[in-house]
Structure 1
Amino acid sequence: MNKAAERRKRMGRPAPATIPDELAREHVRFALFNRERHRLLPWAVLLGALSGLLAVGFHLSLDAAESLRNQLFQWSRQFGGAGMCIPMAVSGICVFAAVWLVRRYAPEASGSGIPHLKAVLQGCRPFPWARVLAVKFVGGVIGIGGGMALGREGPTVQMGGAVGQALGDCCAKNAPDRDRLRILVAAGGGAGLSAAFNAPLSGLVFVLEELQGRFASLEFFTAAVACLVADMVCRAFLGDYPVFRLPPVSTPALELLPAFVPLGAACGLLGVVFNRSLLAAQRIGPWTTGWRRGWWPLWGAALGGCGWLAPEVLGGGQSFAGRVIDGHPLAPEAILFYFLIRFALTIGSYATGAAGGIFAPILVLGALVGLEAGQAVAQWAPTLPVEPYVFAVVGMASFFTGSVRAPLTGVVLMIEMTGNYALILPLLTASFTALMIADWLHDLPIYEAIFQRNLAREAGRDGGG
């Protein structure tokens, strides 16, 4: 026995494993991982298919509700100015019903649901998936269909997570399988985002960057399969094309690249303003309990009045963003008006606590900021090859980054939504500029801020505060 072995024996340390032992352990580890991956594969396929079908149903229901809302606006105009009272009354009833459903049956379905999904994945909250799924779907259709300036993407993320929870309850009956349940919940959330935008890579990146905050092989595998299947289902029902259709775009010239830095900085700053305004509105909450519930229908009536005057300011705004990117001309003062009104309506709608997300509204705000910046650059530097709609696309990713603080998700999402890889350099430049500005201002990402606020509120109730 050599001196090193004698020293280890005296100190009670185990002898180092031999190479054959290490190889045996590695072989066992790989075999276990491969077996678990095979077990998860059918669940991931089923999860993606169900999440995709659910997203298709939600999408078509919201399209039908939006069509009915626009028909109501057109019909009411035949009565002149007095006709405004009709959509105001209908929107008031819809908002009251949407908020009441959430508060009465599933408070977990409030808002986008992404902060709740993060809490579930961290083991801080239970997930009553059946109630959340039903209330999220019905309440979302009523509220967003009634004109609330909220998006369908956040709800599809939470509903996808609910499907993952339901499947996880089937395949994870005992404690050692709790990790498998969390993997399915996270993958379901990614599948919901993938289905909402026809963007499977974005759903996968969102799981790794925002929901889980870590990279693990099983989570990556399950989320990738679920996102791919969900996207295939949605494309089969809704069409195999990008969400936004850009004209042919070549890679922007290098001399134009510095122009995207101030755009990113502006979006980073405005993203922080948006986050703090949203949190402040939720803290004030004048429509929360008791007699103050009268604010719910009043807010709905205000939405109906705004929609009667300008229908495009209501709803998630994805079609409006599409028109902005398609090159429909807007004067600078019109861009400012739409930005301010969409900003205010999104903040107020989310603060009611109805089921609806801020994903699409954030993208609309970013498109307007980018369009304004593109028109300004075209005016100040007429010799540069400026296409304002390119700035609008870049503004969407950078505003999303300034608020959510998930730059890779924003960049990949815009590439998939436009089907154009040529914008990768402007997207990265503006998005990481927005990230640095928001971090420099010490602002929490919006979903993390809501998650922490909810935990603090519960801790205050538990402590009698």
Structure 2
Amino acid sequence: MAFPKLTTLVQRVPPAHAMLLWAALAGLVGALATIAFREGLAGMQWLLVGHSGSFVEMAAQLPWYLRVILPCAGGLAAGGFLLLARRYRDRSAPDYMDAIAGGSGEISVPQTLLRSASSLCTIASGGSIGREGSMVQLAALGASLLGRVVNFDRERLRLLVACGAAAGITSAYNAPIAAAFFVGEIVLGPLLMESVGPMMIASVVANITMRRLPGYKPTYEMPAFPDIGMLEVPLFVALGVLAGLAAPQFMALLAAARRRFAKSSLPLPLRLALGGLGVGIISVWVPQVWGNGYSVVNSLLHTPWVWTAVLAILVFKVLATLLTAGSGAVGGIFTPTLFVGAALGYLFGLGAHELAPALVSSPAAYAIVGMAAFLAAATGAPLMAILMIFEMTLSYQVMLPLMLACVLAYFVARGAGGLPMYEITLRRQREEQERLRLRGTQMRELIKPAETVLPLEASLEQMAEMFRAHPVKYIYIVDGQQRYQGVVGLRDLTAGLLDGAGQAGKTAADFVQRGLLPVLTPEMPLQEAFQQFLAHHGERLPAVQGKDDPVLLGVVYKTALLDAFARLDRDPLSTP
């Protein structure tokens, strides 16, 4: 419900200025929503095991049978919450990305709360999935409710929700600049200052709030990044290529796991319980698969590891993530993606160090770059990945390898045709491909058979019958070789028939008008054909083989041309 006085006050302030103030408030709300989820997670840990902290340490301290039971029970409870969420379907978008990109900015409150409760059950019981998904969703919901209270219009509400989402990402990763570019690059598409400016304000306020509240610490405590020698640059290039090849395979495995679980006849709670059971069984031998991988990544960055241990944890962590995410659990894939990239980079660094220990930096440096490159390839957002890791390290030395690896990983992954992490990115890629196809569309693809064609020898009766059968203004006339000669107009033929005297024996050749209508050719681009229609003001135009060889191929309708232009110019992310 809107507050009239508050709404009036908002309307008096210039929209651009007011948006910055509301963005700051959205940042505060986003930070508080993130803290609420984090504290809820800690509370669940206390209920389950009597203390909170690292999920890996929690799993290592539990007896083996509890490592199996807890994820299974958590999955069962999470599935129950998802079943309840399905009962609450309204006009509001269930996901913040849809609310920003294609919706009205309104986010469903019951669905968000129930899905967040489901995510809480999965994560607290050791599910191999990130907590950032629900954090961002709750932050976006807070911004959406704020905008609805002050009666924002559709466009400003969507922007405020984007600010809330950016604040949630900032609160989860302590990377305010990258958070703004995450929403801008992945969700909004084209980066406009009108959108990015408020999101940066929201991100900064969220980051300040998180730093001032108890319990703050960096998400990843990054080691100092070493100076990079020229001989080491090709290695980071190779790492970028490797990440670009591996990320699509990881995303394909996730998609396959989701399909496999979806095809099962099990109810949703049992599906999630089965995924949790699989994670629990793996954790009997590898407790590091619990949680989103934060502690393992931090350990890779600061502690020497042997390659066999890194490879084993990488394989089992990927398997645990496939079981958790594939079963339908609500949560983020963003953090597990960072884990896979870090492990892949660390293994690459170990191999490079074995080949040239005197020339190669520590494996931790490759883990840092591997995180960014794999993230860039998986999300299709290289700029965001570069900024995020740079903000975590605050080291200019990291920029050269980051830029090389992330950009190469992005283009390699896109060239490989891999599935992006987010459905909205996939939709945008398909739409861009359609636009490119339409830009290259020629009249050949729009030509339809012409039904109103007669030869030069056609009689008055034949032409009159043609006009009676088809509600058109012109009949196309061709010679014996089907070459276009011109048109006979309904008005001219009617005048001739009314005249009566001297019209007997006349044919189409006596009425044909040459050059009255412009003609289209198969190779003619959309824009040029559109100009021909503007000059003619008709509903259709003849299409011929060529100006020098005017064989009539058919007709192009204005509606088909306008439809092609509409698909070319439409911004699908701004339509409901």
Which TM-score applies when normalising by structure 1? 0.81
Q: Does residue 421 of structure 1 match 2:396?
A: yes
Q: Which residue of 2 aligns with 1:24?
A: none
Conservation of the 8 A alpha-carbon contact between 2:286 and 2:316:
no
**For the structure 1 residues 345 and 33, does the alpha-carbon distance in structure 2 shift closer, same or farther, using more than 3 Å as the test?**
farther
**Contact 1:394 1:430 (C-alpha < 8 Å) held by counterparts:** yes
After alignment, is 329-338 or 183-192 more displaced? 329-338
Counterpart of 1:330 in 2: which secondary structure?
coil
- Return the letter of the residue paired with 2:155: D
CA distance in structure 2 between the aligned counterparts of 1:65 and 1:376, rounded to whole angstroms: 41
* Alpha-carbon distance in structure 2 between the residues aligned to 1:428 and 1:359: 20
Instruction: Report the CA distance between 1:61 and its aligned residue.
Output: 3.1
Find out whether 1:362 has 2:341 as its counterpart.
no
Cα distance, 1:157 vs. partner? 1.9
Amino acid at match of 1:138: A
Aligned pairs, number: 409
Which of 70, 73, 84 aligns to 1:90? It is 70
Local SS of the residue matching 2:387: helix
Query: Conserved in 1, the CA contact under 8 Å of 2:132 and 2:335?
Result: yes
1:282 matched to 2:258? yes
SS in structure 1 of the partner of residue 213 of structure 2 = helix
With structure 2 as the length reference, what TM-score do the two structures score? 0.66
Counterparts of residues 315-354 of structure 1 (less than 5 Å): 315-326=291-302, 328-354=303-329
Q: CA deviation at 1:115?
A: 9.8
Aligned counterparts of 1:88 and 1:203: Cα–Cα separation in 2: 36
Q: Say if 1:119 and 1:451, in contact at 8 Å, map to a contact too.
A: no
Say if 2:113 is the partner of 1:134. yes
Secondary structure at the residue paired with 2:220? coil
Could you tell me whether the CA contact under 8 Å between 1:136 and 1:159 is conserved in 2? no
Tell me if the contact between 1:288 and 1:352 (Cα under 8 Å) persists in the aligned partners. no
The DSSP-based 3-state class of the residue aligned with 2:227 is: coil
Q: Which amino acid aligns with 2:127?
A: M
1:180 aligns with 2:156: yes
Residue equivalent to 2:24:
45
Which of residues 159, 163, 174 is equivalent to 2:142?
163
SS in 1 for 2:128: coil
Q: 2:100 aligns with which of 121, 131, 135?
A: 121
Report Cα offsets for 1:134-171 as digits up to 9, x if no partner: 22432222111111110012222222221221112123
Change (3 A) 1:65 1:376: farther
Instruction: Answer whether contact 1:263 1:373 (CA < 8 A) is retained.
Output: yes
- Asked if structure 1 preserves the Cα contact closer than 8 Å seen for 2:175 and 2:388, the reply is yes
Deviation, 1:440, is: 1.1
Return the alpha-carbon distance in structure 2 between the equivalents of residues 343 and 231 of structure 1: 31
CA change 1:66–1:358 in 2 (3 A) is: farther
Tell me which stretches of 4 or more aligned residues in structure 1 moved more than 6 Å.
none
Distance 1:270 1:387, change over 3 A: same
CA-based RMSD: 2.9
**Aligned equivalent of 1:61, options 40, 45, 60:** 40
Residue in 2 that maps onto 1:212 = 188
Q: Which has the higher helix share?
A: 1
Equivalence for 1:102: 82
Q: Give the partner amino acid of 2:396.
A: Y
Give 3-state SS (helix, strand or coil) of 2:95's partner: helix
In the alignment, the residues of structure 2 paired with residue 356 and residue 316 of structure 1 have an alpha-carbon distance, to the nearest angstrom, of: 10
Q: Which has the larger radius of gyration?
A: 2
Q: Could you tell me the percent identity over the aligned residues?
A: 28
Conservation of the 8 A alpha-carbon contact between 1:265 and 1:437: yes
Q: Which runs of 5+ in 2 are unaligned?
A: 1-10, 50-54, 431-576
Aligned to 1:412: 387
Higher relative contact order (CA 8 A, sep 6+): 1
Residue ranges of structure 1 left out of the alignment (5+ in a row): 1-31, 78-83, 456-465
